[in-house]
Amino acid sequence: MPDSAVTATELTIGELSHHSGVSTSALRFYERKGLIASRRTTGNQRRYHGSTVRRLAFVRASQSVGIPLSVIEAVLEYVPHEVPPTQELWRKASQCWSQDINSRIATLERTRDQFSACVDCGCLAFDQCSLVNPTGEATERSARSPLGT
């Protein structure tokens, strides 16, 4: 079914899972978290607005770059469940999240460089190696230890 046809109808949980590639258990989890919503039929079956497919795409894309669900949820609070997230929303969210992503990249690069230096050194000494003892606590404990080192 093309996206335009999906957004014009309601979907069962199985149909939503099929169109989004998201498991039904994950859909139920997202619903409990408030990321998506459904209405219940008289037979207590879930029915999702067709725009939920796009909402799930926003959630999954955000998760794929490491954005926590709580942050995604905070953004989606401003979007009614029956309205699909727009490109403008994605643009604004990505601008806000870019700084965090860049910070994480910088941290990972520092860690990689530190690891490379540690491997080159090979000492693994508690009093010298910042990977073995990043806070320096082990050096302090070692100095107080009756064993001395």
Which has the higher per-residue pLDDT, 12 or 146? 12
pLDDT band for 119, please (50, 70, 90 cuts).
Answer: confident
In this structure, what are the phi and psi dihedrals at residue 82, rounded to the nearest 5 degrees?
-90, 5
1-85 folds as Multidrug-efflux Transporter Regulator; Chain: A; Domain 2 (1.10.1660)
28-64 b/e with 16+ CB inside 10 Å = b?
Answer: eebbeeebbebeeeeeeebbbbbbbbbbbbbbeebee
Residue recorded with tokens 């994480």: 104
Sequence ranges of the domains in the chain: 1-85, 86-138
pLDDT at 103 over 50: yes
| Burial of residue 118, with CB atoms counted within 10 A of its CB: 0-12 exposed, 13-18 middle, 19 or more buried | middle
The tokens describing 51, both together, are 């725009």
Q: What is the pLDDT of residues 42-55, one digit of tens each?
A: 999 999 999 999 99
Q: pTM above 0.85?
A: no
CA distances from 148 to 59, 101, 124, 144, 145 (A): 53, 43, 17, 7, 5
